[in-house]
Amino acid sequence: MIKKFASTFLIFLSLTFAASAELRINVTEGTFKPVPIAITPFDGSRDPELAKVGQDITEVIMNDLESCGLFHIVDPQAHIQSAQDVMTAPRFADWKILNAEALVGGLLKRNGNAFQVDFRLFDVFTESQLTGLSLGSDASNWRRVAHKIADEIYERMTGDKGYFDTRVVYIAESGPEMDRKYRLAIMDYDGANHQFISSGNTRVLTPRFSPDRTKIAYINFGADDRSPTLHIHNLETGQSESIASLEGQRMSPRFSPRGDHLILASAKGGATTLYKMDLGSKRMEKLTASSSSIDIAPCYSPDGTKICYISDRGGKPQIYVRDAAGGEGTRISFSPGYHDNPIWSPRGDLIAFTRHYKGTFYIGVMRPDGSGERMLDSGYLLEGPTWSPNGREIMYTCQSSRESNVGICRVDIVGFNKRKVPIPGQGSYPTW
């Protein structure tokens, strides 16, 4: 059984200081230079236990902000003030000498069995507070508190929603290639709080989150490993519902933006066709109607008006876009090679995809009209991109060489900072 994500209580209180100001990261500009930010180690009010929590929280905030590619963390060795002092009287002139453009301080206090963190974010050059919050939680949830603070800093400085307080479901893989075990697993986006969902007794593939992140649609091959069936796992109840198919092998399930139906593929008679499935009645409605082509890997635009998908009706798998209501799809991928796994950014502005060309796999993005195609990463085997909830990062399956393990990587679409997500074994096919 999975521990519920929402078991924490968080109190948001605004800490006022001075008027807010100008420091803002514009992530749409061409060449991007990470903003130097000084994060003073959060102070534990002379309580050793709190001091440890403060230190842990500081590290998580630093990792969040550094790994997103938009920030450069000023070396703590060079700090000239403690967090306590920063909270009350930041010496902006001294921080300017260190080239810190943003400054963060934090203070932990006991609050019964729980603790409270006050933190402030300052613009060093205008010498003003950008934000200040007070968060309360029980001690076991210190990681979420840290991610919330990092989210708040990110949001204040970029104007985008933060995505550090998020989780990822993926397929944990173990064992040799010929006897591989596949398990659904869930973790924080940075690999922490890892938990297995399924036992590994059945082959599971292609999980996708519902929009509210409470359910996972995936394919389960069953106890005999010969009965691929659509399943929906409920993270709150821990139960998996099996939705039997009378004919056709179900593939590629995804939730609609409103979560009321699925869009999926069903293969029968050598053709793979897209369908809508109402989640109440389980009734199927055909979306594509070719008798011979493979139409698979569907995805909705965030507003639900369009779908993108793969079709090999032109010979090789390529990305097509069409109205959700109907009509012929328009091919949008034209660079050499195959294109696969399209997935629409939650911002609506880009479609991420897998490309396979001359033995190399790429993760790339293009606009929904097919223009502006660019590659973000390449390797021996890359596939299955998934967007961060704010559309600024992509996570995907990555294997650098035939001999290396299959793992999970992430890359931001501005600075192209690539990172491996730490997982306990091998893994693939994240959904964020």
Q: Judged by CB, which is closer to another protein: 120, or 339? A: 339
Question: What are the backbone angles phi and psi of residue 279, rounded to the nearest 5°?
Answer: -80, -20
> Strand, coil or helix: what is 251?
strand
The encoded tokens of residue 60 equal 């998580």
Contact between 103 and another protein by CB under 8 A: the answer reads no
Residue 261 CB, shortest distance to another protein, in Å, is 19
Contact between 359 and another protein by CB under 8 A: the answer reads yes
Please check whether residue 386 is in contact with residue 427, taking contact to mean a CB–CB distance below 8 angstroms. Answer: no
Contact pick of 101, 340, 373, 412 for another protein (by CB under 8 A): 340
CA distances from 228 to 94, 218, 225, 245, 247 (A): 63, 10, 7, 9, 11
State the Cα–Cα distance between residues 374 and 411, nearest whole angstrom: 13
Q: Judged by CB, which is closer to another protein: 46, or 402? A: 402
Contact code string over 157-176 relative to another protein, x by CB under 8 A: -------------------x
Judged on CB neighbours under 10 Å (0-12, 13-18, 19+), 358 is exposed
Contact pick of 207, 379, 384, 430 for another protein (by CB under 8 A): 384
Q: Judged by CB, which is closer to another protein: 128, or 249? A: 249
Contact between 203 and another protein by CB under 8 A: the answer reads yes
The encoded tokens of residue 297 equal 């890997």
CA atoms within 13 A on the CB side of 196: 15
Judged on CB neighbours under 10 Å (0-12, 13-18, 19+), 37 is buried
Q: Judged by CB, which is closer to another protein: 315, or 326? A: 315
Residue 338 CB, shortest distance to another protein, in Å, is 8
State the Cα–Cα distance between residues 173 and 183, nearest whole angstrom: 7
Q: Judged by CB, which is closer to another protein: 34, or 228? A: 228
Contact between 341 and another protein by CB under 8 A: the answer reads yes
Instruction: Single out the segment in contact with another protein by CB under 8 A; choices: 7-15, 39-47, 59-67, 294-302.
Output: 294-302
The encoded tokens of residue 290 equal 């070719």
With CB under 8 A as the rule, give the number of residues binding another protein.
42
Residue 344: which H helix or E strand, with range? strand 338-344
Residue 314 CB, shortest distance to another protein, in Å, is 14
Residue 247 CB, shortest distance to another protein, in Å, is 10
Residue 376 CB, shortest distance to another protein, in Å, is 17
Q: Where are the beta strands (DSSP E) in 155-312?
A: 167-174, 181-188, 195-196, 204-209, 215-220, 229-234, 240-243, 249-255, 261-268, 271-278, 284-286, 295-300, 306-311
Contact pick of 20, 249, 378, 417 for another protein (by CB under 8 A): 249
Contact between 377 and another protein by CB under 8 A: the answer reads no
Contact pick of 131, 345, 354, 431 for another protein (by CB under 8 A): 354
Instruction: Single out the segment in contact with another protein by CB under 8 A; choices: 19-27, 155-163, 192-200, 219-227.
Output: 219-227
Q: Judged by CB, which is closer to another protein: 51, or 267? A: 267
Q: What is the DSSP letter of 139?
A: G
Q: What is the DSSP letter of 4?
A: P
Q: Judged by CB, which is closer to another protein: 158, or 206? A: 206
State the Cα–Cα distance between residues 211 and 217, nearest whole angstrom: 11
Contact between 20 and another protein by CB under 8 A: the answer reads no
Task: Tell which residue, 62, 95, 101, 99, has the closest CA to residue 81.
Answer: 95
Contact code string over 254-293 relative to another protein, x by CB under 8 A: -----------x-xxxxxx---------------------
Which 302-321 residues touch another protein, going by CB under 8 A? 310, 312, 316-317
Instruction: Single out the segment in contact with another protein by CB under 8 A; choices: 49-57, 134-142, 222-230, 231-239.
Output: 222-230
For residue 8, give every residue at least 6 positions away whose Cβ sits within 8 Å of its Cβ, in sequence order, or none.
137, 138, 141, 144, 145
Judged on CB neighbours under 10 Å (0-12, 13-18, 19+), 189 is buried
Q: Which residues are near another protein by CB under 8 A?
A: 176-178, 180, 182, 203, 205-206, 221, 225-228, 249, 251-252, 265, 267-272, 294, 296-297, 310, 312, 316-317, 338, 340-341, 354, 356, 359, 381, 383-384, 402, 428-429
